[in-house]
Each structure stands twice: as structure tokens, then as C-alpha cells.
Amino acid sequence: MLGSGIIMRRRDFVTLLGCAAAWPFTAQAQQTAGLRRISILHSGFPLRTRVRLLIEALRALGYDDGKTSTIELLGGEGDAVRLKALAVALAAQRPEVTIALTSPAVRALKDAGVETPVVFAFVSDPVALGIVNSLAHPGANITGITYSQAALGGKRLDLLLEALPGTKRVAVIWSRSLSENATIVETIRQAAKARGVELFARDLAAGATDLAPAFDEAKSSGAQALVFVTDNLLFGRRKEIAALALKSGLPSMHSFSDEVDDGGLMSYGPELKESYGRAAVLADRILKGALPADLPVEEPTRFELAINLKTAKALGLTLPTSLLATADVVIE
């Protein structure tokens, strides 16, 4: 049953790709009089994510692209110059609300001086990043949903250790391209120290071209497992990363269930459907007259543990039944 859910998710994703050409993808897309204007800005490649969940949530609230609204989907594709240009264009076009997915996206909008309402999602610590004044009182024109990545570092390590009793050395492969990733790694480092686990941290300084050497070094370090901390570009290379982990014989823990869907061993994080859905609700409240400054930043309430048993079998692992019993998604 759970495996079927994963298959359906992939089919929905293919459907999204098939209809994507019908969406306005550029800041110059023609607006239709009388329709609500919503822009979605992702700093990476939105169609490599489950952004369809956001589109579906907006539609359920009455914002149907081409019928009751104009929904513009924009991707920075991991290019800071492109992202900045998109943010500047949005500042000039002044959509009724912009939904910013990931911290670089909302940061770009803030730096561009966007004055119209912004709702963000998948931002780990918006206060530390200078995006809002506080969670309770965001101020100005920005509010949203946090992702709580940093606080989850210790939990992800605990789950990995539960899956692999006796593990004494763990690698962390990560990228500095997201500013909050350094905090996440430090949280994992502190958790490892408290648990008597040695940590080997490898920064992907050269980006995707550094992936294979990083996995080789992680294996050479004596690591028995790894935590992979992704970014906007690397998220689109999920299958390659899973294959490298398998080749290295390193059971891997990830942030998003999509990474497990594509071959990673495990993931733990806020449920994506909830995050997208709550972002849509905030956008709806703003479109109905609420001010972002009056809408507190929300934190996740539902978390999801995903496990890929096919990957476990390929690695020669037998995972504890107690862990499998707590999993929300199991791929068989």
C-alpha cells in the first residue's frame, strides 16, 4: 500500500510536467483582467520538486490557474544572477502575493525591495536570516512557514543510529550554497559528540562536480553511514547521489522523502504536503485582506520518516522492526 503511494506520487509529477507548458513561466506573462495574480518563486528548479502540492492547495482554495487566477511559476535554477533578475521583475510587476520557496528566494525578494505581500516556505530560520523580526511578529510584508531544518539535525542522526546499531563514525556531506546548512551541520556535530560518535564533515566546495570525490573521501574516512544535507541544485541530482551512496556502501539519511523515493535509504523532515498547504492558506488569507505583518510565522506540526527497503536490501541491511513500525512511508 505504501509503495503504491510512492508510485502515484511519481505519476502525478509526470502529469505536472506534461501540463507545465500551459503555465506562464516568465515575468512577462500576460495577465488577464479580473484574475487574482499569484507568483511562485523557487531558487532552484521547481519542477524537480513537488510544487504540484502547492498548485493543488491553491486550486482547492479557489485559485485555479487560467480560470480564477493567474499563477506564475519562476525558477532561479541555482543561478544567483537569474534569481536576482526574477526578484527585481517581481518588485516591478507587483503581483498580489508572491510565494517564495527556499531561503534564497525570499532573501532575493527582500533584497529587491519587493513591497507586495510575500509568503515563504522551506526556510529554516527566518529570524537568523534577517527575513522577519520574529516568528510571532514578522513585521513588514513577509510571513510564512519555517522548515526547522537545523533543529532536526540531532533527530536525523538518532534515527540513523537506530537503524544501524553500533555505528561509531558518520560522515556529513553538505553544501554552503544555503547559508543555513552550516547551522545544520553544527547541530549534527554537537549531537554526534553527545552520543560518542565521530563525525567526518565534507563541504561540497565545487558543487555537483565534487560529489564523487566527497563520497570517496567519506568512505575512506572510515564512516559507516552518512547524512546528506542538500541544496537547490543538488536536490535535482537525487538519483546520482543515491547511486553514489550505494556504490560507497554508505547508508544515507536525507531531509526530503523525494530523496528516498529516488534511492536514498532514509529521510526525516516536516511533511511536504502540510508545508505547501499552509503556505497556500497564508496566501489565501492575504488575498482576502489580511496583512503579512499580522500573520505569525508558522512552524511545522507534522513530520515524516521515509525508508527505502529496496535500498536497505541492496546495502545488505536488516532494519529494526521497531523503526519500520514508526515510518510514515516505506518503499518496498
Q: Tens of pLDDT along 12-34?
A: 433 343 333 333 433 334 445 68
pLDDT, average across residues 106-112: 97
- pLDDT confidence of residue 161: 97
Strands 303-308 and 198-203: unpaired
At residue 5, the pLDDT reads 33
Query: How far is residue 129's CA from residue 184's CA, in Å, rounded to a whole number?
Result: 14
CATH number reported for the structural domain that contains residue 243 in this entry: 3.40.50.2300
- 135 pLDDT more than 90: yes
**Are residue 285 and residue 137 in the same domain, yes or no?**
yes
Q: Can you tell me the distance from the alpha carbon of 228 to that of 230, in angstroms, rounded to the nearest whole number?
A: 6
Contacts of residues 31-34 at CB distance under 8 Å and 24 or more positions apart, as own/partner, are 31/70, 32/66, 32/70
DSSP letter (8 states) at residue 264: -
Sheet with 36-42, edge to edge strand ranges: 69-75, 36-42, 97-101, 118-123, 142-146
- Examine residue 212 and state whether it is found in any structural domain, yes or no: yes
Backbone angles phi, psi at 174, to 5 degrees: -150, 170
Residue 2 — pLDDT band, cuts 50, 70, 90? Answer: very low
Structural domain span for residue 78: 2-147+271-302
pLDDT at 236: 87
53 within a domain of the structure (yes/no): yes
Does residue 167 share a domain with residue 283? Answer: no
Fill in the amino acid letter for 144: G
Q: How confident is the model at residue 180 (pLDDT cuts 50, 70, 90)?
A: confident
Q: Which of 7-21, 81-95, 256-270, 293-307 has the lowest mean pLDDT?
A: 7-21
pLDDT reported for residue 96 = 98
pLDDT tens per residue, range 200-219: 999 998 888 999 999 999 99
- The mean pLDDT value for 112-133 works out to 94
Number of domains the chain contains? 2
Residue type, 320: P
Q: What percent of the chain has pLDDT over 90?
A: 78
Provide the grid cell at 324: 519500520
Who has greater pLDDT, 12 or 155? Answer: 155
| Domain shared by 50 and 102, yes or no | yes
For the chain, how long is the longest CA-to-CA vector? 63
